[in-house]
Amino acid sequence: MSQNRTDTDYYRYVLRVAWTAHRGAAADTGAAAEKFMKNLLPGGTFTMTESHPDVILFMSGGSERRAIELADPARLGTFAASLLV
């Protein structure tokens, strides 16, 4: 094996994860979403994104409108909820 290999080289697919929360959510909600994902999946298996996500992570109630904006009707999506915020 190459010593220059990175974690992302090991995984064939990297999940694109977007988070959503209500408008009054704390400023650190995005960081909390990334921390939540890091507790679920190993490094290199996902990336946080603001468009075309594979997974939409609900960080609070009242975030449904943003989730609808993020969802792509042509693709089957995965929705996850966090109880951290």
pLDDT digits (tens, 9 = 90+) for 51-63: 888 888 988 888 8
Q: Residues 18-42: pLDDT tens digits?
A: 999 988 999 999 999 999 999 999 8
Whole-prediction pTM? 0.73
pLDDT bin (cut points 50, 70, 90) of residue 73 is confident
Q: How far apart are the first and last CA of the chain?
A: 41
Domain coordinates in residue numbering, the chain: 7-81
pLDDT bin (cut points 50, 70, 90) of residue 13 is confident
3-class state of residue 5 by DSSP? coil
Task: Say if residues 57 and 80 touch (Cβ distance below 8 Å).
Answer: yes
Q: Cα separation of 63 and 69, whole Å?
A: 10
pLDDT bin (cut points 50, 70, 90) of residue 77 is low
